[in-house]
Amino acid sequence: MCNLKTNNMNDQNKLIAKQLLDEWNRQLNRASKLFDELTDEQIQKEVAPGRNTGTYLLGHLVAVHDALFPLLGVGEKLYPQLEEVFIKSPDKSGLERPSVKELKDYWNEVNKELGNHFNKFTIDEWLQKHTAVPEEDFLKEPHRNRLNVLISRTNHLAYHLGQLAFLKN
């Protein structure tokens, strides 16, 4: 009876983690499909008059996802140079930036490598604290875990996807 109950709960836990990972992948695929469909010229345009360009949003998404390696405690950033250009600075900073082709390659590379870690996380590992929260705070705020990072980054991606969709004719 006890085993039945723990098995059932364990299955529930796994199911929920899988659903969250599926949604992350679904949003990633939508974005990748869009980046593939758009020409470099289209991506370089502003998504709306006076707003960010597609290039900036692509670089921003790569940089934010790249920051997940240290935040989730699974490694170093692959492209640390992107933070200054695409997170700390606005679009028209005049800073040198990689080409659209390079950014698309980074996008694929970062998400593939993240996927390698995400697919291996057990539910206990998903519920471990992320590295930006001190141990003593985590005891009181157990929701500041890796899963929360996944949830909020999925929504962050959806938010910018809604804007990037305007680059299509």
Q: What is the C-alpha radius of gyration for the chain, rounded to an integer number of angstroms?
A: 18
Query: If binding is defined by CB under 8 A, does position 140 make contact with a copy of itself?
Result: no
- For residue 142, the SS3 value is coil
Binding-site string for a copy of itself from residue 20 to residue 49, where x marks contact by CB under 8 A and - marks none? x-xx---x-------------------xxx
Q: Stretches 7-15, 68-76, 80-88, 108-116: which one binds a copy of itself (CB under 8 A)?
A: 7-15
Which residues make beta-bridge pairs with 129? 145
Q: Does 5 contact a copy of itself by CB under 8 A?
A: yes
Q: Are 9 and 17 in contact (CB under 8 A)?
A: no
Q: In whole angstroms, how close is the CB of 162 to a copy of itself at the nearest point?
A: 4
Report the distance separating Cα 23 and Cα 86, nearest Å. Answer: 25
| Residue 78 contacts residue 106 (beta carbons within 8 Å) | yes
Residues 145-164 that bind a copy of itself (CB under 8 A): 145, 147-148, 151-152, 154-156, 158-163
